[in-house]
Amino acid sequence: RIPRRKGESRCDFVERLQSTLRQPVQANERAVKVHAVVGIVAAHPHHGPADDVLRAAVTAVHAARQRGASRATFSTGMHAAATSRAILEVALQEAVLADEMEVHYQPIFQLADQKLVGFEALLRWNHPTEGRISPGVFIPVAEETRQISRLGKWVLHMAAAQVAQWHRAHPLLGGLTVNVNVSAEQLDEANLVDVFTGIVENAGTTP
């Protein structure tokens, strides 16, 4: 137990708490360091049950982690953001099956002669009520919830099928390529190369 000192501000107390927790502890003859992210909820007479206060603290912790900070103080805006994020997570799970996702192809030109040499496949989400949702919003959610692997494979499947169709329709463009972005999260998958190679080969094109 680390009590708050008389007259000590919340920020000073949290800093002292984190400093204490950063001290190495012995575990099985090894020194282990602990890093703490702190969610602060200011006491207020209108607070509800203890569970509500705890949920607010967890929301503040999540907000701090998103910013790469070591602590954050809860605000009502955080609650609204957390609610919106939870709704987004659920909607994202169904977006592919609901046919809300699209792959857009951005052309890549050779600067020397302005020759079209390929495309970059870009994932776009058309939400039925929110309209277009920026990749800057939904890609981080997909990565944090481990949905990015499924989305990444879907994009590759669509892009491989598209480039195979272009090659069949335009044989003279045999060198046309499509670049597909891969999340860093996907690089942790041991079978990534085999999965991607299988998708490309099944589409009837080459990697």
Rg over CA atoms, the chain? 24
Total residue count of the chain as it appears in this document:
207
**What integer pLDDT is reported at residue 153 of this predicted model?**
92
Taking alpha carbons only, the member of 184, 162, 182 closest to residue 118 is: 162
pLDDT band at residue 1 using 50, 70 and 90 as cut-offs: low
Structural tokens at position 125: 């989400």
**First and final C-alpha spacing in the chain:** 58
Angle at 146 between CA 143 and CA 152, to 5 degrees: 70
User: E strands of the chain, at which residues?
Assistant: 25-27, 30-32, 38-40, 71-73, 101-110, 115-127, 131-133, 177-180
pTM (2 decimals)? Answer: 0.65
Cα(99)–Cα(126) distance, integer angstroms: 9
Give 50-90 pLDDT, tens digit per residue: 777 787 778 777 777 777 777 777 777 776 666 777 888 88
Percent of the chain with pLDDT over 90: 25
Cα(36)–Cα(71) distance, integer angstroms: 9
Give the highest mean pLDDT range of 12-26, 40-54, 85-99: 85-99
Query: What is the overall mean pLDDT for the chain?
Result: 84
Question: Which has the higher per-residue pLDDT, 115 or 69?
Answer: 115
Residue 20 near residue 4 (C-beta atoms within 8 A): no
**What integer pLDDT is reported at residue 10 of this predicted model?**
75
Structural tokens at position 9: 């501000």
How does 77-107 read in b/e, with b if 16+ C-beta sit within 10 Å? ebeeebeebeebeebbeebeeeebbebebee
Give, in order, the Cα–Cα distances in Å from 89 to each of 4, 104, 207.
Answer: 37, 22, 32
Task: Indicate the burial class of 59 (C-beta count within 10 angstroms; 0-12, 13-18, 19 or more).
Answer: buried
Give 133-184 pLDDT, tens digit per residue: 989 889 988 988 888 999 999 999 999 999 999 888 888 776 788 999 998 8
**What integer pLDDT is reported at residue 100 of this predicted model?**
93
**What integer pLDDT is reported at residue 124 of this predicted model?**
95
The answer for residues whose C-beta is within 8 angstroms of residue 120's C-beta and 6 or more apart is 105, 106, 108, 178, 179, 180, 181
**What integer pLDDT is reported at residue 79 of this predicted model?**
65
